[in-house]
């Protein structure tokens, strides 16, 4: 039976109507040319950037995923993604400004600016295809699947009608992205974020009221989560439970990898070390390097520290209330919506879910079309094309991307399997993506070797990846041919260490055996981006121009921002879960870190503004 009332449907439709109106209000701004459409004319202020990134990363599957993590591992289950926090703060403090100074149109174009030549061109083309069709296809398939789960529970429609609603939503996102480009995307993102966040908070408040507050929830979960591992554990603990194992075995080794290396060594879709995909697009669209940096910092604080707590609370409530089997735990969030929200609020919460879905779909459509045009069509077929020509091409590419993504969503049976390919390609490549900004010797072959080695290692070590690529029979034939056991290195943590180690050895060897990028290109890169690090050899013994930022100061900023974000994360958590003393201490520590950060920013900028600095040549600044 449908859980929605007439008023819910009316509220939901009204919200969609307002969003559609807003989405179509920017065609004039996007119509100036390709860059205006893809990067909003590089005029986005930091607040809008940060909020837009938070909205994009809030997809329809995100509350469900957090509910699943909490249902299986308690609050500490979130360390799976909290461990990436330091990587994102690193992007904010060390890479956001260089990205903006690079004045690239897409992150994939970095290969052309930094490496050039045929290897750089091939890398750029491969990445463009991979990011625009495969990566976007998987993301869209993933969010379509999650949205389908929500609609099935709340609308209870015939599957064909369910699909029709989903495709109608994709068509809406497609239409306003076509018309308004990134301006439309970020403006709708802001409203979508407010709607989606309020829905989450309302659900958490009602869950708390239903459970009888903090104590009631604790009483329900006192014996450990029903869906958790046998033996029980404290679901309210913020620290992971290793089940009696040490840090060098089993779950401990995986946790060690997550905490110590995952955030800089592994490329996760949407969590590229140093920034990539939609994060890089937003940094490139900032109105200044400072806005890029502040925007990412705002994103880190909201995304990691504030937003997850309502979901976590609802996840705990659902785990205690429904006792779902392990593969169904994620649905607890939608059941909570259905059972807790009264008419009117349910419609608003659903509108929030639809908004979260739209904000993810519109961003990835816009981004993917940008890759296809800027990094494939333009360098191969339309080198001299003007901005309006490229804009028309981008709008056509958007239709192509949407068609491919929908086909992908329908025909790929295992989205999780396709996800494994994404992770396998990036499991050992994080370091090379970081060092390419700091070490002149990195070349295009370094990145190509890192990706190839990472995929090859993952293929040998991960039985799930082999089964997806070769099929079950092919995987069995492979095992018989190679003589290797199905899983040569048991344990995910040990496997990840092995993939990283082997890939790093391969790309380092390849880098030293292949010629360096021509010095003229490296000098051009340096003069445009002015990064810190090892660049002196590029200038043949002459003194290179000063880097734009002091590396030591940026590292202090990074440490302080990370400390601030973790204190805020746990401080807000302690406040939500009834520990005011710990919350006060943590929030005061966060405040102190904020003051120190402010002071360090002032100290870092003061010498640069007062010291006489060589003016860059006019030609290099505007080339």
Contact positions with other proteins (CB under 8 A) in 503-542: 524-525, 528
* Minimum gap (Å) between residue 47 Cβ and other proteins: 9
Binding mask 560-599 for other proteins (x = CB under 8 A): ----------------------------------------
The residue among 124, 436, 430, 92 whose CA lies nearest residue 283 is: 92
CB distance 109 to 367 below 8 Å:
no
Helix, strand, coil tally for the chain in percent (to 5): 75, 0, 20
CB distance 397 to 376 below 8 Å:
no
Closer residue to other proteins, CB minimum distance, 260 or 288? 288
Query: Is 18 among the residues that bind other proteins (CB under 8 A)?
Result: yes
Q: Of 112-120, 147-155, 310-318, 418-426, which segment contacts other proteins by CB under 8 A?
A: 112-120
Query: Is 303 among the residues that bind other proteins (CB under 8 A)?
Result: no
CA–CA gap between residue 282 and residue 48 (Å, rounded): 10
275, HSE (Cβ side, Cα atoms, 13 Å)? 31
Q: Dihedral (C-alpha) 160, 166, 167, 172: value to the nearest 10 degrees?
A: 150
User: Cβ of 384: how many Cβ atoms within 10 Å?
Assistant: 6
Burial (CB < 10 A; 0-12, 13-18, 19+), residue 214, is: middle
Give the residue, chosen from 155, 214, 261, 290, that forms a contact with other proteins under the rule CB under 8 A. 290
Query: Is 388 among the residues that bind other proteins (CB under 8 A)?
Result: yes
Query: Is 616 among the residues that bind other proteins (CB under 8 A)?
Result: no
Contact positions with other proteins (CB under 8 A) in 166-225: 183, 187, 190-191, 194-195, 198, 202, 205-206, 209
Alpha helices in 74-158 (DSSP H): 79-82, 85-90, 96-102, 110-114, 117-129, 136-155
Query: Is 285 among the residues that bind other proteins (CB under 8 A)?
Result: no
Instruction: Name the DSSP letter for residue 42.
Output: G
* Minimum gap (Å) between residue 136 Cβ and other proteins: 21
Backbone Cα Rg of the chain? 24
Total residues at interface with other proteins (CB under 8 A): 69
Give the residue, chosen from 4, 35, 226, 276, that forms a contact with other proteins under the rule CB under 8 A. 35
CA–CA gap between residue 487 and residue 539 (Å, rounded): 48
Binding mask 324-353 for other proteins (x = CB under 8 A): -----------------xxxxx-xx--x--
Q: Long-range contacts for 576-579 (Cβ within 8 Å, ≥24 apart)?
A: 576/309, 576/312, 576/313, 577/75, 577/214, 577/236, 578/214, 578/215
User: Cβ of 3: how many Cβ atoms within 10 Å?
Assistant: 18
* Minimum gap (Å) between residue 550 Cβ and other proteins: 18
Closer residue to other proteins, CB minimum distance, 110 or 357? 110
Query: Is 275 among the residues that bind other proteins (CB under 8 A)?
Result: no
* Minimum gap (Å) between residue 416 Cβ and other proteins: 35
Query: Is 101 among the residues that bind other proteins (CB under 8 A)?
Result: yes
* Minimum gap (Å) between residue 121 Cβ and other proteins: 6
Give the residue, chosen from 87, 119, 250, 289, that forms a contact with other proteins under the rule CB under 8 A. 289
Residues at the site binding other proteins, with contacts judged by CB under 8 A: 5, 7-8, 10-11, 14-15, 18-19, 21-22, 25-26, 29, 32-33, 35, 41-45, 48, 100-105, 109, 112-113, 116, 120-121, 183, 187, 190-191, 194-195, 198, 202, 205-206, 209, 287-290, 341-345, 347-348, 351, 378-379, 386-388, 524-525, 528, 621-623
């Amino acid at each position: 039976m449908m859980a929605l009332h007439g008023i819910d449907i009316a509220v939901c439709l009204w919200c969609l109507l307002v969003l559609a109106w807003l989405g179509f209000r920017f065609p004039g701004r996007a119509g100036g040319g390709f860059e205006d459409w893809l990067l909003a004319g590089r005029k986005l202020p930091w607040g809008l950037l940060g909020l837009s990134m938070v909205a994009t990363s809030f997809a329809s599957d995100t509350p469900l995923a957090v509910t699943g993590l909490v249902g299986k591992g308690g609050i500490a289950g979130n360390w799976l993604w909290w461990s990436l926090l330091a990587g994102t703060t690193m992007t904010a403090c060390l890479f956001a400004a260089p990205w903006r100074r690079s004045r690239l149109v897409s992150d994939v174009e970095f290969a052309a600016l930094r490496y050039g030549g045929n290897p750089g061109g091939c890398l750029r083309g491969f990445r463009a295809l991979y990011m625009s069709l495969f990566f976007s296809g998987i993301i869209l398939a993933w969010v379509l699947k999650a949205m389908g789960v929500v609609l099935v529970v709340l609308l209870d429609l015939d599957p064909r009608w369910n699909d029709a609603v989903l495709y109608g939503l994709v068509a809406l996102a497609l239409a306003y992205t076509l018309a308004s480009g990134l301006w439309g995307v970020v403006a709708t993102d802001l409203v979508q974020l407010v709607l989606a966040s309020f829905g989450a908070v309302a659900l958490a408040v009602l869950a708390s009221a239903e459970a009888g507050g903090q104590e009631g929830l604790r009483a329900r979960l006192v014996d450990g989560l029903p869906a958790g591992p046998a033996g029980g554990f404290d679901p309210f603990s913020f620290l992971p439970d290793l089940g009696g194992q040490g840090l060098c075995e089993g779950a401990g080794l995986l946790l060690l990898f997550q905490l110590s290396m995952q955030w800089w060594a592994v490329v996760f879709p949407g969590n590229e070390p140093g920034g990539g995909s939609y994060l890089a697009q937003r940094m490139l669209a900032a109105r200044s390097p400072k806005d890029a940096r502040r925007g990412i910092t705002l994103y880190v604080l909201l995304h990691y520290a504030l937003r997850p707590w309502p979901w976590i609370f609802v996840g705990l409530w659902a785990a205690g209330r429904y006792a779902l089997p392990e593969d169904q735990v994620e649905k607890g969030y939608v059941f909570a919506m259905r059972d807790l929200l009264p008419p009117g609020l349910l419609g608003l919460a659903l509108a929030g879910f639809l908004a979260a879905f739209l904000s993810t779909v519109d961003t990835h459509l816009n981004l993917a079309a940008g890759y296809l045009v800027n990094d494939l069509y333009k360098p191969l077929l339309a080198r001299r094309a003007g901005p309006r020509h490229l804009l028309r091409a981008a709008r056509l590419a958007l239709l192509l991307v949407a068609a491919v993504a929908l086909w992908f969503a329908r025909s790929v049976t295992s989205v999780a399997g396709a996800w494994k390919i994404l992770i396998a390609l990036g499991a050992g490549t994080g370091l090379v993506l970081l060092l390419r900004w700091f070490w002149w010797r990195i070349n295009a072959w370094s990145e190509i070797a890192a990706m190839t080695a990472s995929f090859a290692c993952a293929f040998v070590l991960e039985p799930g990846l082999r089964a997806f690529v070769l099929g079950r029979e092919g995987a069995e034939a492979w095992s018989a041919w190679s003589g290797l056991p199905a899983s040569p290195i048991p344990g995910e943590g040990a496997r990840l260490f092995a993939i990283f180690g082997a890939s790093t050895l391969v790309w380092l060897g390849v880098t030293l055996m292949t010629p360096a990028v021509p010095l003229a290109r490296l000098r051009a890169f340096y003069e445009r981006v002015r990064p810190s690090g090892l660049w002196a050899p590029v200038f043949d013994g002459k003194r290179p121009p000063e880097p734009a930022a002091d590396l030591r100061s940026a590292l202090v900023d990074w440490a302080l921002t990370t400390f601030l974000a973790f204190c805020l994360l746990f401080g807000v958590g302690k406040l939500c879960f009834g520990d005011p003393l710990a919350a006060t201490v943590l929030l005061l520590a966060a405040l102190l870190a904020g003051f120190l950060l402010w002071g360090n920013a002032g100290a870092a900028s003061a010498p640069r503004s007062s010291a006489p600095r060589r003016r860059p040549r006019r030609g290099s600044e505007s080339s």
